[in-house]
Amino acid sequence: MNPKELIASLQIEIENRIQEVTALRSPLSIYEPFNYVMSGGGKRIRPLFAALSCGVISDNHSTAIDSAVAVEILHNYTLVHDDIMDNSPMRRNRMTVHKKWDDSTAILTGDIMQGYAYRIIPDYSQSERADKVREILAQVNIDVCLGQALDMEYNSRKDIQIEDYIKMIDFKTAKLLVAAVMIGGNIGLANDEELGLLEEFAHNLGIGFQIQDDVLDLTANEEKLGKTLGLDIAEGKKTLLILKSIELAEKQEHKEMLDNFMKNNGDDITNVPKYAEMMTELGVFTYALNLADEYFAKSRTALMKLKDNVYRDSLSELLNNLIKRDK
């Protein structure tokens, strides 16, 4: 089986297990939105990473499928709650849960999803490192919340630096990827060196992925992206792009626009094209994508030190796909 075939086969396994876990039952008022969220697609990168990381260590991924699905459910529960806080109307080209139903339903949906994530991870009879898997899942649950808290805190602060941004995206994005590979690696009984390489691979990929995501928020095709372009500008996010623009801006019109952004914690979404034009002129997009590429390169270096098998080749295939993504 080649990497593309393995990835496709794993995606089917993961989707089938998700369908089993989220099958409609009573009361529909909570299970219907749970099913709605998990049937909405997405790249399934995190569960793929969990299963493939188990395979790269043990040459077998089957024991990691439930844990892989648990990571995906946990990830999606955080999105449901994030969408409430950001008042986002769309996610993956569909209405968000709090818009399709209401805030209370969305909160409960996220809560029950969190419960299911913990419910399906292995116990000690299934994995000798079950306690470690549970510990990793609990810690990343905390870490993602800390990342969201920092994101919200930064909205009202005017002194944010690029290193603050990197710290925030580490918690909000990278640590979940790290958790996925560390869970898979532990189920596969990886040694300390192998776990260190998996962590380095996922951490650098997570940082590069989020930097790239911030660029796509202003440059992607809106239909492919599945959400409105420029929401980071409208929501006052102090992304790398804004922080670097402040550092490089020399024209008065650029300085005034950025001062207004900082003073008002964002700008009207109709002004987003002006920000994109400014960032293109300042070379901010090029800077950000080059920085993302540096993180991707570090990620690949760590990955290639792991055992050479079809699972490693599949992780490399996924890395290539993420680097080339346009949504």
Q: What is the pLDDT along the chain (327 residues), one digit of tens a residue?
A: 899 999 999 999 999 999 999 999 999 999 999 999 999 988 899 999 999 999 999 999 999 999 999 999 999 999 999 999 988 898 888 999 999 999 999 999 999 999 999 999 999 999 999 999 999 999 999 999 999 999 999 988 999 999 999 999 999 999 999 999 999 999 999 999 999 999 999 999 999 999 999 999 999 866 665 567 888 999 899 999 999 999 999 999 999 999 999 999 999 999 999 999 999 999 999 999 999 999 999 999 999 999 999 999 999 999 999 998 776
| Residue 146's CATH number | 1.10.600.10
Nearest Cα to 159, choosing from 246, 235, 231, 85?
246
Which residues lie across from 90 on neighbouring strands? 95
Q: Is residue 52 part of a domain?
A: yes
Q: Is position 213 within any domain?
A: yes
Whether the bond into 273 is cis, omega within 30 of 0: no
Instruction: Tell whether 298 is covered by a domain.
Output: yes
97 touches 109 (CB < 8 A): yes
- Distances from the Cα of 223 to the Cα of 165, 217, 228, angstroms: 27, 12, 8
Residue 258 forms part of a structural domain: yes
Q: Are the CB atoms for 82 and 237 separated by under 8 Å?
A: no
Is the CB of residue 296 less than 8 Å from the CB of residue 319?
A: yes
Helices (H), 188-267: 192-219, 222-225, 231-234, 240-248, 252-264
CB-CB neighbours of 119 under 10 Å: 12
In a domain, 324, yes or no: no
The 8-class DSSP code of residue 62 comes to G
Q: Is residue 321 part of a domain?
A: no
Q: Indicate whether 317 belongs to any domain.
A: no
Chain-centre distance for alpha carbon 55: 22
Task: Estimate the crossing angle of helix 240-248 against helix 284-303, to 10 degrees.
Answer: 130
Rg (CA), the chain: 20
Total tally of structural domains belonging to the chain: 1
The residue assigned the tokens 């876990």 is 21
289 lies in some domain: yes
Containing domain of residue 27, as a range? 3-122+133-309
